[in-house]
Amino acid sequence: MIVVTAPTGQIGSALVRRLLEQDAQVRVVVRDPGQLAPDIRDRVELVAGSHADPAVLDQALPGADALLWLVPPDRSAPDVREHYRRYATVGADAVRRHGTEHVVGISSAGHGWTEPAGVLSAAFAMDDELAGSGAAYRALSMPFYMENLLGQLDSICSAGVLSLAVPADRPFATVATADIAEAAATLLTDRSWRGHDDVPLFGPDRLTPDQMAEVMSQELGRPVAYRHVTLEELAAGMRTAGAGGRAVRDTTDVFAAHAGGIYDADWAVAQLGSVDFATWCRTVLRPRAQAHPAWS
């Protein structure tokens, strides 16, 4: 039995489908079972609730051979470190109680980075907690998700602008969530691994943001330009939108780490996914852009 947390997100939903295609027995922990696709809901065991709740995990983990651990994002959380710590502590304790032998965590690349890095630092602390649970543990460690760019559809479609707080001419590491799901499925179904390790997973490209905008232009058939947002501009925009001081600091720390090379060491040794940026733009971004009201 394989237990999957956060099964309605982009990674979890793709992972569950891949596991079912391989005839794996799957149990999901989900806050709202109604959010599962009907064809998935009928083929998995359901445990309703949050995996931050020990009682929910006590329902989910008996008889489990492997566990996919993903901390759901919570933009309202006042402290991202505490958010991750709470989930990780509950998860590690439950793994100990039930003797779950294999755990795969959705984490960040850049282990060993010593400067503050917001949610990335929180993910590293999560890995330490789960690695101490007694289970064999793999931290599936990624850079920036391509799907995060979907949050800029308004700007891309209406103004032809892609914005990030990273230098225009520095290679920017990305990965598609489809590749994350595929790598997680491999680890969860082939459990010959032991001990603890990080598994860096990156997309096959090594593009700068300027080059990413060029690829977008080609795949969308309309010009897209890159705009480098300074950390000061990013912070000011977040404060205007009502973000608190810690949230602003956490976000700017993430992008400062990106610009400072947090992913460079892992990029040199990472497993490479199969979805390049052009393919992602063609198969994921373009359909979403064409459905956007500003696309006409």
Q: What digits encode the pLDDT tens for the residues 17-57?
A: 999 999 999 999 999 999 998 989 999 999 999 999 999 99
Neighbours of 71 (CB within 10 A): 24
pLDDT band for 171, please (50, 70, 90 cuts): very high
User: Class of 2-144+175-202 per CATH?
Assistant: alpha beta
- Kindly give, in sequence order, each residue whose CB lies less than 8 Å from that of residue 68, ignoring residues fewer than 6 positions away: 2, 3, 4, 5, 12, 15, 104, 106, 184, 188
Average per-residue pLDDT for the chain: 94
Rg of the chain's alpha carbons, rounded to an integer?
19
- 56 and 91 Cβ atoms separated by less than 8 Å: no
Predicted model pTM: 0.95
